[in-house]
Structure 1
Amino acid sequence: MTRPPLAIVAGTGFYDLEALEDRSEETVDTRWGPARVTRGRWHGLPVVFLTRHGPGHTVPPHLVNYRANIRALADLGCEDVVAVNVTGSIDPELAPGDLLCLDDFLDLTRQRPLTFFDGSGPEGVVHVDVGRPYHPELRRELLDAGAAAGHPLRDGGVYAAFEGPRFETAAEIRLARLAGGDVAGMTGVPEVVLAREAGLRYAAVALVVNPCTGVGDADEPITMAEIDAVLARSRDAVLAVLDELVHTRATFTDETDEEDAG
């Protein structure tokens, strides 16, 4: 049985997926513009990798072409999308290096295109339910992979999406916390919504790399040096979770193929 490619989307600190074999770079043209992807195989399974900010982090979060990215993944035959979001902690109990399997979001962005259904296409205006924006079955795969890899993910977390590229103010973080936010980031929305509109199953791992402004020691500014240091020591944990998820899928595919052949 040939499975559709698994899409992996990542951002800050994740500009390549070294585990991919038989890799090739490809530009996919969509109605919304081009998207650059890397195709390859991981544990024998087809994977499409997309880094949101481009090579060397050249695209800021508010200018990422989220519609082109998600449309390209759908056009390439992907059905499942696993995202990695680098975040700040709103919940003071979360520490740098912690991992969460997100289950909801707050959209605090202001100016980015948010939907495929802007009235310009043949489908007209469509209202999509996002009561469960992160797919339950794909979330369970991530949670199981984290446990098996020795890097457990917290089950549940609300992602508060801000416009960026600046970091948030203390007042904005207080507002997000009052609304139930656990982590803050700049790229999770509209990506998750667009995936839902495109009919893709979507789940996300949030890696905490710093306390948000006003959380913990409010006198300490957020610096990229601090974020890069946490990424350097935590990146392997995220990759180990992804590796376990892909390996489990590969094993399941092999077993299914053997049953079909029998």
Structure 2
Amino acid sequence: MLAVIGGSGLYRIDQLEEVQEVRITTPFGEPSSPILIGKLRGKRVAFLARHGLNHQYSPSFVPYRANLWALKEIGANRVLSISAVGAINERFRPGDFVIIDDFLDFTKGREDTFYQGAYSLDVPGDDKPAELLKNKKVVHVDMSEAYCPQMRRCLMDVLEELKLSYHPSGVYACTEGPRFETPAEIRAIKILGGDVVGMTGYPEVALARELAMCYASLCVVANPAAGIAKYRLTSDEVISLMKSKEEEIKLILKLFVERLEDQRTCNCHRALEGAEV
């Protein structure tokens, strides 16, 4: 099953049918919102609001581990993240879509792994992640291809068909927030190869990998980043831009769900093979 995680300005999927609201508690706490499970184009799809239904979770305090674990528990094996970003690459314009293919992590102090060795939590279940946690294993997952190639290819096909302005690849730089970045920080990130900047892409992608879930990130450029923009950045601008892209996002989701093959032909499901020490 595909799960969609909505970022700033995206708190539900209106086109879901036969919707069931699921409230779940995990060993890692409660997820940031109830999970909505319904049908879209005849396929079961789940939705979770990353920041909560009332946007009550700051990027630093989103319960990332609870969110991903809860999605796993309801049977999701694929995750599509939709979020707003600032553009560092000057070819990227406000309103453009970006299909992320790599990331840089500049966060501080976030819980970014399930597997804490001797300090791992005891969890119910008998799948591979539960087994590793029960046995207090240290796990090192490979991140050479952190974003699912099958999902990324499908997103490209959908955006091409809809004739929307998009970039087929981009490096996401994740900063701690909640403040916006300084011009000096953006200059440094640009030197390191970052194309866009946001505050929530990590550890979400790594946690999905640790659960052998497919993960793809579709970003919407909300504004130029600090120092590139010649004006003061505001949250209002981000929410307004996401609101203006609402109909396009709906079209993308419908086609994406319809076109994505049920069978996983990528290697994401093998992420835990050879990872334990």
- Using the size of structure 2 for normalisation, the TM-score is 0.85
Name stretches of at least 5 consecutive residues in structure 1 with no aligned partner: 254-262
Q: Which residue of 2 aligns with 1:180?
A: 193
Q: Matched residues in 1 for 2:150 and 2:258: separation?
A: 17
Counterpart of 1:33 in 2: which secondary structure?
Answer: coil
Counterpart of 1:15 in 2: which secondary structure?
Answer: coil
In structure 1, which of residues 64, 67, 72 is the aligned counterpart of residue 65 of structure 2? 67
Deviates more, 1:240-249 or 1:52-61: 240-249
Q: Check conservation: 1:96, 1:208, Cα contact below 8 A.
A: yes
Counterpart of 2:218 in 1: which secondary structure?
Answer: strand
Deviates more, 1:115-124 or 1:175-184: 115-124
**Counterpart amino acid of 1:167?**
F
**Counterpart amino acid of 1:228?**
I
Q: Check conservation: 2:10, 2:242, Cα contact below 8 A.
A: no
Q: Matched residues in 2 for 1:73 and 1:127: separation?
A: 22
Q: Check conservation: 1:104, 1:159, Cα contact below 8 A.
A: yes
Deviation at 1:209, TM superposition (A): 0.2
Q: Which residue of 2 aligns with 1:258?
A: none
Q: Which residue of 2 aligns with 1:165?
A: 178
Q: Which residue of 1 aligns with 2:47?
A: 49
Name stretches of at least 5 consecutive residues in structure 2 with no aligned partner: 121-132, 263-277
| Superposition RMSD in Å | 1.3
The structure where strand makes up a greater share of residues is 1
- Using the size of structure 1 for normalisation, the TM-score is 0.90
Q: Which residue of 1 aligns with 2:274?
A: none
Deviation at 1:246, TM superposition (A): 1.1
Q: Identity across aligned pairs (percent)?
A: 39
Deviates more, 1:151-160 or 1:233-242: 233-242
The answer to whether the aligner puts 1:76 opposite 2:74 as a matched pair is yes
Q: Matched residues in 1 for 2:185 and 2:30: separation?
A: 33
Deviation at 1:212, TM superposition (A): 0.7
Deviations 1:113-141, CA, capped at 9 Å, x for gaps: 11111122324211110000001111101
Deviation at 1:152, TM superposition (A): 4.6
Q: Check conservation: 1:151, 1:241, Cα contact below 8 A.
A: no
Deviation at 1:228, TM superposition (A): 2.5
**Counterpart amino acid of 1:91?**
N
> Between Structure 1 and Structure 2, how many residues are aligned?
245
Q: Matched residues in 2 for 1:232 and 1:28: separation?
A: 29
Q: Check conservation: 2:88, 2:194, Cα contact below 8 A.
A: yes
Q: Matched residues in 2 for 1:123 and 1:199: separation?
A: 18
Q: Matched residues in 1 for 2:104 and 2:246: separation?
A: 25
Q: Check conservation: 1:86, 1:207, Cα contact below 8 A.
A: yes
